[in-house]
Amino acid sequence: MQPSDRKAEDSGPDAEFTRFVAARWRALTHTAYLLTGDFHEAEDLVQTTLAKVYPHWRRLDPERAEHYVRRALVNTNRSRYRRRRITHLLLPSLPDTGPVHDDGAGAGGVDVYDALARELADLPERQRAVVVLRYCEDLSVEEVADVLGCSVGTVKSQASRALAKLRSRSSLTRTYPASRPAEAR
C-alpha cells in the first residue's frame, strides 16, 4: 500500500464511520442500557443499529449523523421490544455473587445506573425512551420529539407520566435522600 493510498483510506466514509463508532460507542451503549435494562442486550442493540446505519453512512450529513444514529437506536429498540416473544427476567446481579459496583456507585453502595435501569424497565417503552433521551441524554423537548417522531406535547405528557410513576415507587428516592432535610421543607 502506498502512503497516498493510506491517506485516502483514512479520510473516506469508512474511516469517518470508524472514528464515529470509536468516539460514541460508550455513550450509545449507555443509552441502549437505559433503554433495555440489560448490558448484553444494550451492546447487541448498538451493534444492530450500527449495522443498519452503515450502508447509509455515505449519504449522512456529518452534522446530523449523531441524531440519525440516536433515532435509529430508539427505533431499533422499539422493533426489538415489539418482537420480543420471551419475557426476560433482569437480575441486578448473578445469584452467587454480590452486586457489581463501578465508578457510578452511590450512597450505601447502590449503583445508580443499575437502580435507574431497573426502575426504567418498569415503564412503558415510549415513556422510557422519553426519560432516557430527555434526562439522561440531556436533549431538549424539541429534540426528543424529533428523535421519536412525535409532537412536543406528547414528549411533555409522556415525561410527566413517567416521572410521576418513578417518583411514586422509585427505589432511587429511598436510596438518595433529598438535598434538604425534611424539617426544612
C-beta separation of 92 from 99 below 8 A: yes
Which range, of 6-15, 29-38, 56-65, 86-95, averages the lowest pLDDT? Answer: 86-95
- The whole-number pLDDT of residue 98 equals 41
CB within 8 A of 33, min separation 6: which ones?
39, 42, 113, 117
Q: What is the mean pLDDT of residues 85-101?
A: 46
- pLDDT per residue as tens digits for the range 40-51: 999 999 999 999
With pLDDT > 70 as the criterion, what percentage of the chain qualifies?
A: 68
- The whole-number pLDDT of residue 172 equals 62
* 3-state secondary structure at position 94: coil
- pLDDT per residue as tens digits for the range 4-13: 444 545 667 7
- The whole-number pLDDT of residue 140 equals 92
CA torsion 69-136-97-77 (nearest 10°) is -40
Eight-class DSSP state of 88:
-
* 3-state secondary structure at position 145: helix
Does 67 score more than 70 pLDDT?
yes
C-beta separation of 162 from 134 below 8 A: no
Segment holding 50, helix H or strand E: helix 39-53
